[in-house]
Amino acid sequence: MKNFWIVPNYSKPQTTGCAGRIRQTLTKAGAACEIAPALQGEDACRAGAGDIPADTECVIVLGGDGTLIKAFRDLALAGRDLPVIGVNLGHIGYLAETDEAHVDEMCACLLEDRYYIENRMRIAGTVFRGGAQIYQGEALNDIILTRRETMKMVYFSLEVDGMYLSSYAADGMITATPTGSTAYNLSAGGPIILPKSRMMVLTPICPHTMSNARSIVIPADSVVEMKVERRSGESGNGSACVNFDAGVSIPLLPGDRLQICRAEVPARMIRIRETGFLETLRKKLDIQTGR
């Protein structure tokens, strides 16, 4: 690789120095490397997908998992299917391949093509209202049907491949990819799924029931559909919304349908080490528990 684009999360104090160090290392070796600027009035991050040079071969993301996920979302919206590598400057960092202390090693591997690309499954969600599509988006981690108002449950029905499964009164439903199984899904009691798997997991959030509170694991080619139901006394504005990767949030009305399936294009993550996922998971969980 010889052409790089760096996406920094400027809210991290060490980001500017780390980005400059990477750029200097790459350009000194004869590569082309540019750094995405912060948006006017913002100090966080953006992929700057519209600004990326046409010959870019690799996107380097500096930050935590949220920064990496946002970069993939920005790239998808811009139609740029580029491989991405993450440098963890956050707390846990399940998705990042390396950290600030090892960026020189990362640069050497990228310049010498000593890496492999891991395809991660993504999911696509479409919202229908009155038979018309009103929104379509994609997610690397999860698509979540949830409540808009504090302390009010969401009422909805669930179908998989056209077959009715159940109705819920709950705080919502998580539809997670294998990558997203260690995110909100894990916190909600859902199972951990190895990232190279091809499946989805449906995990209800605080369901008010004793019969359908468990997660459901389904094949990757399944089509999930949830319909928002009107509860007794509810206003016409509804109390539900759908959230894509903790970013874009779309309000839902009673009668709206959310359809979820596997996205056509996977997320391409660059890997330079053969460390197993379970080993990484153990280390990250040990950090969380202070072991």
- Catalytic positions: 65
Find the Cα–Cα–Cα–Cα dihedral 92, 105, 80, 280, rounded to 10°. -30
Conformation bin of residue 132: beta by default, left when phi > 0, alpha when psi is -120 to 50: beta
**CA-to-CA distance for 89 and 94, rounded, in angstroms?**
12
**CA-to-CA distance for 51 and 78, rounded, in angstroms?**
10
Question: Angle at CA 165, nearest 5°, toward 162 and 166?
Answer: 130
